[in-house]
Structure 1
Amino acid sequence: MAPHPSTSHASSTHTTLNLSGMVMAKLKPAKIFKNAVDAPPAPATGSQSQKTSNPPSRSITGITFDDRGDQLLTAGEDETFKLYSCKSGKVLKTFYSKKYGVDLPRFTHKNTAIVHASTKEDDTVRYHSLHDNKYLAYFRGHTDKVISLEVSPIDDGFMSGSMDKTVRLWDLRTPVCRGLLKLPAPPVVAYDSTGMVFAVAVNHYQRILLYDQANYDKAPFLTIELNDPTLLTISYPPRPIYVTSMSFSNDSKFLLVGCSGDTHYVVDSFDGIILARLEGHTALERVSMTSPPLIQPAKGISGEEVSWTPDSKYVISGSLDGRIFIWDIQSLNGVLGDERRKPFKMLRLKANAVLDGHPGPSRCVKFNPRFAMMCTAGTELAFWLPDPAVDAEEVAKDLLKKRAS
């Protein structure tokens, strides 16, 4: 196998935020925004839809923090995106995108600008200024819905993956596509923490391709096969793994693979081994409680519900029932090294903590990159903070350790 291009580089997203299992288990909703998404318009008086049922509720579809963790931006099915202060817990601005729609919002390295995908009109990626509410550039080229969008951690580059079976590489400074990958199926993309490597998941083929950013036009230096023997014990033939999101740990050792089913995966990004399957949550794409469950990834509501904490010690995920699941990933460091040269049996990890408090399906879940704060979103938006009592317990434990030594 070719060496991982990022092995000699330090992580560019290193953070000093240090979380503990006690802090994670004691997170509580500090503020809930019940009107984070506008209700759909009422059906016309006397219409058939009014007679049969209430109109479906709208949901937040994507959230993003700026690099400093000061601001949070949400995008919703009401075709608006809202800017929140993480310190004051207040709405700063509301923006409307009724003409183009808005999805997959991503802060650039300026906290006054974002890129986002469109849901109407066309499949252009748009570069938007939050300062004066203007579009700065349009990135045209995709011919179908953009399903994956990621900003480089080190520069003004970004990537988009589309249902048109292509990945396009862009630079914010020019609207012309600077790189194109044609694939056999719709792709999902992710940068590693150095920006030197990017991953492309090719659905229907259950493969993840790792590319050197400087040689993206060459063959991938690593191909990962997503083979989970556990699925054979659930149904035959086994239900295919449908990837909806990916993200690297901050040291680039691990790749978190979010899926439409009741399992997410953690993969060794150097050798391509599936280290663990994360279990316990109920998939957002589940449409029945049968066994085996019926999963319908075409619904397209997965992708934002699973992510790392900033220190990459924990993985957090939403669930169809609204609960938040937390898995401790620190034990996986022990299976690297010598274990690379031995046959490895994939671990099945249950959540170390399960949190209640989010109303409705927790469709988006992310941790603030700088502060001990978590955000969950669906039909409502919630800011989570540690229970104040946890600090006192941590101090007491530290005192006891010092006295014992």
Structure 2
Amino acid sequence: MDRDETTVTVVGGGVHGVHLAIRLLEAELLEADRLRIVEPDGLLGGFRRKCAQCGTDELRSPYVHHVSPDPFSLRNFARRRGRVDELVPSDVGSDRPTVSLFFDHAAWVCERYDLESTVVRAAATDIEAVGDHLVVETTAGPLSTEWCVLAVGHGRSYAVPEWAETLPPEAPVCHVWDPAFDPDAVGETESVGIVGGGITAAQLAPTLAQPGREPTMFARSPFRVESLEAGTDWMHFGGVVDELHGLPSASRERARAVVEARYDGAMPPHVFARLRRALERDRLSLERTEIEVATEAGGTVVVTCRDGTARCLDRLVCATGFDSPYDGSLLRRIRAESRLATGYRGAPVLDDETLRWRRRDGSPSRLFVTGVAAQQVLGPFARNVIGARRAGDLVVAALGSALERDRSPKPR
């Protein structure tokens, strides 16, 4: 592919990046040879890995939330292949797909649009404006593009307890989202601790609770069970989102509104039921306390808890979520070296109608932002599949108008 002929570069090949790329092709705004997706893990590779790392076997969202523009594509895919039994009943709305069905459908959709041909297996390290183009710096070299869609998620901005930051590198402590963590590689007789009481910890703990191994879950707060990640009114992107937009862009007030609306860490009923079964069958121990000190000791880790108890563990896995969505290395680099406007805690100042990142002078740049970094525009479902679908609506409309202007004859 000629690097000088790219119209749109999508940075990130997760659900958001894949859906946005498909929407652009479906709308016939460009051909596949004018599109790139920059993603070191390949299409949906990072999402697939995360599902495996915490033991996700069913998705929380309904079957109408997936990468295809047609909301009923996944359901029809399941029917045609005799896999309707992989649509699991839900207590709110439509049935939910298994992870296997979701990824098989996604692969089929990507093949229909020849999306693999657009992938650059590299990591983006910076994005710079050069004249009327953007240059995306990657580990495979620079890529020139007319427009860019930034769909990178949290990156590796993980939340870890303070005590974990002081441990030496050889300590057997990791974060569940570390690329090297593999639950299948945990020894059958290892004593394993899991830190956290949210949805990820609740999925990981029963996954590790195999015969001969009894993990210990350290959860300081009561479990919270919610079917969805926020109230259903946020899923319609109507009045509550309009109220959000009434607050100053990229502000502390918007950040607070999103945090208060999102049920962070809450687990859906099917996850809680699996966790409870593991506890009732004594395959898993639960400690209602908080680790205060951890010390590496000859290939093990000794933890001392707030309640005065201590344990020696072969391995400790932190399932403690993500840090700020604006602290990934790419976003930090863009902020430091560009004329783009930022607000509270480094949040990008985005146009509410288009998701275009504004420059400091208020003009819109050629960079769109989607995913969790756009949560101050899209609300608490920004990071979810439905957030990708809403972002697709905004980006396709805005980019369609912009491309039409770019291609129209200029007056002499």
Q: Radius of gyration: which is bigger?
A: 2
The TM tier, using the shorter chain, reads: under 0.3
Higher strand share: 1
**Structure 2 length normalisation: TM-score?**
0.24
**Structure 1 length normalisation: TM-score?**
0.25
Higher relative contact order, structure no. (Cα contacts within 8 Å, ≥ 6 residues apart): 2
Higher helix share: 2
